[in-house]
Structure 1
Amino acid sequence: MATNTPIQELQPYLQENWKKAAFDSLTPVQEEMLPFMLEGKDLVVESPTGTGKTLAYSLPLLEKIDSSSTQLQAVVMAPTKELVMQIHSVLQEYAKGSNITGTTLIGGVNVQRQVDKLKKKPQYIVGTPGRILELYKNKKVKLHEVKTIVVDEADIVYDMELMDEVQNIVKGTMKDRQLVFVSATISNKSEEIAKEWMNDPHFIKINRDSGSTESIANIYLISERRDKIDNLRRIIRHHSNMKAIVFFGDNLKLDEIAAKFAYRGITVGILSGQATKHERQKVMREFRSSSHALLLSTDLAARGLDISGLTHVIHFDLADSEKQFLHRSGRTGRAGQKGTVISLVTEREENVLLKWAKKLNLPAERAVIKQDQLLLASQIQQKSAQKRSPKKSTPQRSGNFTKKKGK
């Protein structure tokens, strides 16, 4: 049975980088994963978005790497280019002060450049399954010394039909390697695959606690399809400090919508599967650096991206499933920060949304737009009560749902 391993027992460079990050303590998923990963145990980990899963496997992965060896020792796979780059950034940050190096292997990039980077003998790689497998088959990636394989967002890897590539990569490693699946949700199918591929896997499930849901306000607005653009514009107009991802079901109108908001002076980026790697990187770089911006996105951006200061997630189109709704919404309210989720739903979609909200412990409250203000039902009731009893009026609920008065 593994026991909790404190940061103080890790290598000095990891302790120093932990101090620089100014974290108070390990999150629950980090406390659970760290000792088991150091022990070399195969793991299947389900933990809500924003709970620190990337660092939970990055710390022990780096701890176990022999920096004096030039062999590839660890492989991290993720379903999207954006998530690959984000994971690599975390590993780079925590590898400072060591001689450990890594590189990324993703599609849409010149293969020869990646081959040249592999010639520098990185001790870890982070990449998409397809590109890693391609380079392995071409004998540019050698897996015989790999000790740890992590599949991040395992459920979406399965949904994107990438598990065959993952399996072929796993088969290229030694039987005593460590295999780890992590995801915000672990489906029955992912569990079945884990049991088939892994050696006596240990299952970790971190539940979403009340504290994490209290940091997220979940509201919705009844809106017919033809009114959604106008209602979205009203919502944005009255949130002067909004930094939001707006999720759409397809790519059809993103350029048109972006042009309308850009015309009104609002910084807008588009993240879709049609964009090139450099276009995506430019969009994400500009969005992260802006304090007031919109990112119009398909579900490509719903998994794994950690964007500091994201105040809102807006569902322009309702997600296809409860699981997808959770992953989209999880982009805000991360690590205890305040966040707001706003859904624009038709009357037929309202019951679906309320069902998901109840099951996910994210109570949803209806809002309406009155006099160009987005008001919650509770705020309207308060105003009505104040009008009836002016002498015993109560302070209006604070929040960021109505237009701020000018100074």
Structure 2
Amino acid sequence: MSAIQLLNEALQKKWTFSHEMKIQQEMIPAMLDGKDIVAESPTGSGKTLAYVLPILNKVSGSKKQTQALIVAPSQELAMQIVNVIREWIVGTDITVQQLIGGANSARQIEKLKKKPTIVVGTPGRLNELARSGKLKLKEIETIVLDECDQLLSREYRVVVKSFIDGAAYGRQVVVVSATITEEIEIVAERLMFEPIHIKIKPEDMVKVGKIVHSYVKVDERDKTDLLRRLANISGVRALAFVNNIDQVLMKQNKLAYKDAPIVALHSDMKKEERQKTLEAFRKGDARILIATDIAARGLDITGLTHVIHVDVPRTIEQYTHRSGRTGRAGADGEVLTLLSYRDEKTYKKWLRELDLKAVQKIWHKAELIEGNAKTIATPTPSTKKGKKSNK
């Protein structure tokens, strides 16, 4: 029996996909059984529906209480989860409410009074509403932590633990992420009851595209200009990662001055500004979107041709997370690193540990081609115009 056949008839009728993803085959039955779960599965492998469908099967819209809580580390991811849920609850009495920072809290409090069936939110706003008694944690029977490697990091751990501790007795806890370190796994287990562990590898996914890992050697000061050039290559659609917000702002200012088809996303932006930026990128008005890892968490952007590491990631998990955003749904993709001298050692270490081979490239005649400075032929003095060859 397929996992979808375990769901109620209404959900089965709405299922229009040709096949189930591996994570869905394993997570749906386990969630329906009420198990606590630690699930590691690559970006783009179908994790959202793997937990959303069992939740929708389990909750009741006629029951006037909030029964499920989904926590996400970024506003964008929370909004995307809400959009997925809204598609699946059409024609039912199940309701969903997003509770995110940057939005009007008074309006959110009014919506909470109506007891939405499912709540999706970011840690800061959820904590604020729970502490003021507006969000009744004790009624919640299922808690999902999406991108748990972020939510169980030291920054959010105490707050997230308070959500779980305050939930109904016997509550179900499900944590999912593309990468789960040993430390995060230990922390997760302490918050759960005999969790089952699910690990999906990239090769378990259907239709994995071919991904080329490449790098171009470039001085730190020249990275912004190289981004500008890359953005002028027809067909490029790239998500470019930097390690801190200061670099995002600096590059955004320089590129805006040069009128490059590049936009930036960072945590200091207002909700409306973020939406405008994402819309410009999705419509193709901009070819490259620059962001930090936190700002880009959970962004569901299809058709990326490239992931660009403007800065070499600080951790191997970051490299995996970022790189997994291209080559999805059977499409090919490229992971390009702008490699400065100081980061060569770290970059080579990540490649070694991930057992990856990278191709060196060079900017030549308005395009990025395979090779290095030595392989690009240059005329010798004896063959230049006006000089005679010895031959």
Question: How many residue pairs get matched?
Answer: 375
Question: Whole-Å Cα distance in 2 between the matches of residues 13 and 165 of structure 1?
Answer: 36
What pairs with 1:2-151 in structure 2 (closer than 5 Å)?
A: 5-19=2-16, 23-151=17-145
Match of 2:152, SS state, is helix
What is the Cα deviation at residue 216 of structure 1?
Answer: 1.6
Aligned to 2:192: 198
The 1:72–1:344 alpha-carbon spacing in structure 2 relative to 1, beyond 3 Å, is same
Pairing 1:235–2:217 present:
no
CA RMSD of aligned residues (A): 2.4
Mark the CA change 1:286 to 1:147 in structure 2 (over 3 Å): closer, same or farther. Answer: same
C-alpha distance in 2, partners of 1:296/1:184?
A: 21
Change in CA separation of 1:97 and 1:16 when aligned onto 2, cut-off 3 Å: farther
CA distance in 2 between counterparts of 1:9 and 1:191 reads: 28
| Residues 1:219 and 2:179 aligned together | no
User: Would the alpha carbon gap of residues 337 and 96 (structure 1) be closer, same or farther in structure 2, given more than 3 Å must change?
Assistant: farther
The TM-score, its normalising length taken from structure 2, stands at 0.88
1:161 corresponds to:
155
Taking every aligned residue pair, what percent have the same amino acid on both sides? Answer: 43
Whole-Å Cα distance in 2 between the matches of residues 376 and 138 of structure 1? 58
Task: Give the aligned residue type for 2:10.
Answer: Y
1:400 corresponds in structure 2 to none
Separation (CA, whole Å) in 2 of partners of 1:46 and 1:375: 35
What amino acid sits opposite 2:183 in the alignment?
K
Name the structure 2 match of 1:175.
169
1:244 and 1:294 in contact (8 A); partners too: yes
User: What amino acid is aligned across from residue 179 of structure 1 in structure 2?
Assistant: V
CA contact (8 A) 1:106 1:131 kept: yes
Segment drifting more, 156-165 vs 96-105: 156-165
Give the Cα–Cα distance (whole angstroms) in 1 for the partners of residues 354 and 209 of structure 2: 12
In structure 2, what residue type is equivalent to 1:223? V
What stretches of structure 2 of length at least 5 have no aligned partner? 378-391
How much has 1:256 moved relative to structure 2? 4.9
Task: Say whether the 8 Å CA contact 2:215–2:338 is kept in structure 1.
Answer: yes
Aligned-partner SS, 2:193:
coil
Q: Which amino acid aligns with 2:190?
A: E
Q: Secondary structure at the match of 2:76?
A: helix
Which structure 1 segments of 5+ residues have no match? Answer: 385-407
Are residues 1:251 and 2:248 paired?
no
Give the residue type in structure 1 aligned to 2:188.
A
Q: Which residue of 2 aligns with 1:349?
A: 343
The 3-state SS of whatever aligns with 1:365 is strand
The aligned counterpart of 2:389 is none
Letter aligned with residue 110 of structure 2? D
> Residues 49 and 304 of structure 1 are in contact (CA less than 8 Å); yes or no, is this contact kept in structure 2?
no
Alpha carbons of structure 1 residues 360 and 103: separation in structure 2 relative to 1, 3 Å: same
| 1:177-212 deviation line (CA, Å, top 9, x unaligned) | 110111111122222222222111101111221877
Q: Secondary structure at the residue paired with 1:280?
A: helix
- Cα distance in 2 for partners of 1:209, 1:361 equals 14
Counterpart among 325, 332, 335 of residue 338 in structure 1? 332
- Does the 8 A contact of 1:243 with 1:291 survive in 2? no
| Aligned counterparts of 2:44 and 2:357: Cα–Cα separation in 1 | 19
Q: How far did 1:142 drift?
A: 1.5
User: Residues 129 and 354 (structure 1 numbering): CA distance in 2 closer, same or farther, change over 3 Å?
Assistant: same
Q: Does the aligned pair in 2 maintain the 1:18–1:94 contact within 8 Å?
A: no
Structure 1 residues 252 and 174: alpha-carbon distance in aligned structure 2, compared to 1, 3 A threshold? closer
| Contact kept in structure 2, 1:240 and 1:292, CA below 8 Å | no
TM-score by length of 1: 0.85
Deviations along 1:80-125, whole A, 9 cap, x unmatched?
1111111111111122232211001112322211011112221000
2:153 & 2:203 partners in 1: Cα distance?
27
Report the counterpart of residue 401 of structure 1 in structure 2.
Answer: none
Give the secondary-structure state (helix, strand or coil) at the position aligned to 1:144: helix
8 Å CA contact 1:13–1:97 kept in 2: the answer is no
- Give, in whole Å, the separation in 2 of the partners of 1:304 and 1:166: 18
1:334 alignment partner, SS class: coil
Kept after mapping to 2: 8 A contact 1:75/1:149: yes
1:213, distance to aligned residue in structure 2 (A): 6.4
Of stretches 34-43 and 355-364 in structure 1, the one that deviates more from structure 2 is 355-364
